Amino acid sequence: MNGDDADVVRRCLQGEVDAMHLLVERYQSAVFGLCFRILGHREDAEDTVQDVFLRTFRHLRKWDSLRPFKPWILTIAANRCRTILEKRRTQTKNIDPHLGAIDDESASKTVLRTDLGEELDLALGLLRADYRICFVLFHQQELSCAEIARVMNSPEGTVKTWLHRARKELADHFTRRGIVPEGHYELPRI
């Protein structure tokens, strides 16, 4: 795939519009998935995907063809998302500090399986940007900790810490919301 990517990139650099099409088609799912999960908003994610690919084309010469293309483009996407989250954070801080707060008391004790994804999305929205990006890269893009470390320009140990903290905070969220695993039965206490 890497050699194939190199060929497509070379054709893009030569100005072939078909190759640009091919490159976008090949990576738009991954980039959109990342942006959608991090930003939590479809329209924002679509705009960001377009930005990411425009930046990619602009800096295509900087890509090292000896390295895989996917982590490189995901790096651009993750950084773009981080910038947007930062902007959002400062804006919402000025508007309403309680925006996004969840009313735990109103939560239902039984959450349907289909709602679990929404609950996770909701909880992800409350995580710190680094934790969120790290979690999405690991669980959705299925990158290893070493690859995430390269994407996020951070030590691998830090990435592992972020990942476990993200998982812990998400699990805490489910606990607070009283969500129990499917098919789980309370064990009889002796």
Partner 1 sequence: MNCLEFRNRLLSAVESQQPVDTELLAEHSRSCSSCEREWQRHQILSQAIGVWNDAVPSVDLADVVVSRWLVEAPGPISFEIPSTSPVLQESETNPSVDRAETSTAEPNVLVIPHSSTSYTSQPNRSRAREVLWIPASLLTLFLILVWNTDNSQLPSTKTFTTRPRNDAKSNPVAKTTVDANETGGTAPLPQLDALIDDMEIGYRELAQSAVITISDAALLSPANENRSFWPSMIMFAPELDGENQPLPETRTTSPVSQGFSKALDLLLEVVPAMESPTS
Residues that bind partner 1 (CB under 8 A): 11, 13-17, 20-21, 24-25, 28-29, 32-33, 36-37, 42, 46, 49-50, 53-55, 57-59, 62, 72, 75-76, 79-80, 82-83, 113-114, 116-117, 119-121, 130, 138-140, 142, 144-145, 152-154, 158, 160, 163-164, 167, 170-171, 174-175, 179-182, 184, 187
* Closest distance of CB 12 from partner 1, Å: 9
* Closest distance of CB 50 from partner 1, Å: 5
**71 vs 68: CA distance, rounded Å:** 6
* CB closer to partner 1, 92 vs 144: 144
* Closest distance of CB 168 from partner 1, Å: 8
Q: Which of 6, 154, 128, 156 is nearest to 75 (CA)?
A: 154
Tokens linked to 140? 């959705």
* CB closer to partner 1, 96 vs 139: 139
CB atoms within 10 A of CB 112: 10
* CB closer to partner 1, 5 vs 130: 130
* CB closer to partner 1, 58 vs 98: 58
* Closest distance of CB 167 from partner 1, Å: 6
* Closest distance of CB 121 from partner 1, Å: 7
